[in-house]
Amino acid sequence: MSPDPAGDLEKLRAIALALPRAVEKISHGQPIFSIEKGKVFAQYWHDHHRDNETAVMVKTSGPDEQAMLIEADPDLYYRPAYIGHSGWIAIRTDQPGSDWGHIADRVAASWRLVAPAKLVGMGPE
């Protein structure tokens, strides 16, 4: 597990809530981030179902991108239970030296995948 799960959540919260119309709520006991009255683009899991893992979940463009990421770096990425079949990817934050710049890029990409077209122009490049 992450040595600082509260710090990890605060970092994710700062990244996610900086995006246009992003909101946070709790679902199944875990924080999720969605576009106001819209789709989820990021989730935070800490010891979800007592699995001893801490990770940020984000959308990918689909199964091909998901598989490519896992194959390229299986120590960083994994296919999360319950939502992996829908193209979501887990990014571990429970290892030393988590790259929060990279995580921020993946969160922004996930936001763009679910944002309405009118918001995409307002979002991160």
pLDDT in tens, 100-115: 999 999 999 999 999 9
Residue 43 has pLDDT above 90, yes or no: yes
**What does the pLDDT read at residue 58?**
98
Number of domains in the chain: 1
pTM: 0.91
Looking at residue 44, which CATH number applies to its domain? 3.90.1150.30
* Residue 122 burial class via C-beta count within 10 angstroms: exposed 0-12, middle 13-18, buried 19 and up: exposed
The domain in which residue 24 lies consists of 5-117
Q: What percent of the chain has pLDDT over 70?
A: 94
**Residue 123 forms part of a structural domain:** no
**Residue 122 forms part of a structural domain:** no
**Residue 125 forms part of a structural domain:** no
**Residue 124 forms part of a structural domain:** no
**What does the pLDDT read at residue 125?**
55
* Residue 79 burial class via C-beta count within 10 angstroms: exposed 0-12, middle 13-18, buried 19 and up: middle
In the chain, the largest separation of any two C-alpha atoms, in whole Å, equals 39
**Residue 61 forms part of a structural domain:** yes
Through-space distance between the first and last CA atoms of the chain, rounded to whole angstroms: 32
